[in-house]
């Protein structure tokens, strides 16, 4: 009614299709997950190092 209903796959003659753009595959998601994990580790390590330096300077 008034264009609010879902179209069935046979009505428009084409199946529902989707396309993956470059960088949307499983391997790229895995690579981004590794980069994110290593950046968190580097951020925590860098913060701890800077905190240690500041603590040693204020002792």
Split at pLDDT 50, 70, 90, the class of 22 is confident
Segment 41-56, tens digit of pLDDT: 999 999 999 999 999 9
Poorest-confidence range of 13-17, 19-23, 41-45? 13-17
Average pLDDT value for residue range 1-7: 61
Average pLDDT value for residue range 7-30: 71
The b/e string for 4-42 (b: 16+ C-beta within 10 A; e otherwise) is eeeeeeeeeeeeeeeeeeeeeeeeeeeeeeeeeeeeeee
Q: What is the rounded CA–CA span in Å between residue 57 and residue 11? A: 74
Supply 22's token pair: 């470059």
- Answer with the residue of higher pLDDT: 1 or 25: 25
Q: Is 24 helix (H, G, I), strand (E, B) or coil?
A: coil
């Amino acid at each position: 009614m008034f264009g609010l209903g879902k179209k069935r796959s046979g009505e428009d003659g084409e199946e529902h299709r989707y396309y993956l753009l470059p960088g949307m595959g499983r391997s790229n998601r895995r690579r981004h997950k590794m980069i994110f994990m290593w950046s968190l580790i580097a951020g925590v390590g860098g913060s701890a190092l800077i905190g240690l330096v500041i603590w040693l300077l204020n002792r």
